[in-house]
Structure 1
Amino acid sequence: MKDTVEEVVTAPAQLIRITAVVRRVVQEMHMGPMDNAARVRVQFLLRECLAELDECLDSSLNAELRRVVRIDLAGCTEKSLHVAMATLLGWLEGLVDGIQMALTAQRLATVADARNKISQEGTALSFNGLNRTTGARESVRTGQYL
């Protein structure tokens, strides 16, 4: 299993841009029926988005994406294109949410490690000015700061 976001997503900014493009295309598709030129353009965008995702995701995420978004672009209908784009958008948004959660968990773990290290080293002062490890009184400055 991969440990960091950088190992599964090599280009997070590119992933965010692709997600924004797909979200906008899905919004446009909901505006009304598409003519043939619009359908061809959406097929092109879907193909390009999938190709770009190949570049910025690791192999396991790419395999999952290919299982989730299955479409034959050669003979797809407007409805199947809607479903494929909405599915892609949902998958991308889930991935972005997962990345945000992983980054938050990493930050929380880093903060907890730092707090543990500080308390183990005894360098932190308690509220009353006593060193937590030795119990000795430390000088605590009080008053107004200029």
Structure 2
Amino acid sequence: MGVADAPSDPGGTPTGETDEGDTDQQRSPHDLVEQPAKVMRIGSMVKSLLEEVRNAPLDDAGRAHLAQVHERSIAELKDGLAPELVEELDRIALPFGDDNPSDAELRIAQAQLVGWLEGLFHGIQTALVAQQMAAQAQLQQMRQLPPGMGQSGPGMPGWAQQSGPLQPGERPSNEGTGQYL
């Protein structure tokens, strides 16, 4: 699930809602990821570890170490996330048992974490694009003149009130000589 998805509890009520009816969709990405650089670094590390686990079999010591790294990564991620994302991560990241996890268990756990992080990053990117589009639309609205304001009139530059056609050599009364000195 990404930032744009509001997770539901078993009763069907979105868990990201507050008393005011706000959901995760209305919060800025900065509010959801309090330490984005840290989350990106850990995400890159977890993805690299997943590639290593796919390419090489692990012995018992390697599996134990990778399980510790996985659990530490989750703990560090929690430090950089908003409480609602920490709760979501707690729900999906199941702890390993007392025994050393198998290669398959480690691959599944790492792939799940990488998938969750990629969903989080995708949700953040989507929210940022939506914010940028909304800001651009607002700027365009501010730049547009109200109807009828596009033509020159009294008080507008270039408007000259004429009482009739100009005679040869005559200038409009509000036009300067062009000299600034």
TM-score normalised per structure 2: 0.66
> What residue in structure 2 maps to residue 135 of structure 1?
151
Mapped to 2, the partners of 1:138 and 1:91 lie a distance apart of 58
Alpha-carbon offset, residue 109 of structure 1: 0.7
Q: What is the Cα deviation at residue 78 of structure 1?
A: 2.2
State how many pairs are aligned: 130
Higher helix share: 1
| 67-76 vs 100-109, which moves further | 67-76
Q: Mapping of 1:1-146 within 5 angstroms?
A: 1-2=23-24, 3-75=27-99, 76-120=101-145, 133-136=149-152
The CA deviation at 1:33 is 1.2
Cα-Cα RMSD = 2.0
Pick which of 71-80 and 11-20 moved more: 71-80
CA contact (8 A) 2:53 2:103 kept: no
Structure 2: runs of 5 or more not aligned: 1-22, 159-181
Structure whose CA Rg is larger? 2
Structure 1 runs of 4+ off > 4 angstroms?
none
- Percent identity, aligned pairs only, is 29
Q: Shift of residue 73 of structure 1?
A: 4.9
SS in 2 for 1:30: helix
**Structure 1: runs of 5 or more not aligned:** 123-130, 140-146
Partner Cα separation in structure 1 for residue 148 and residue 57 of structure 2: 69
Between the two structures, name the one with larger relative contact order (CA 8 Å, sep ≥ 6).
Answer: 2
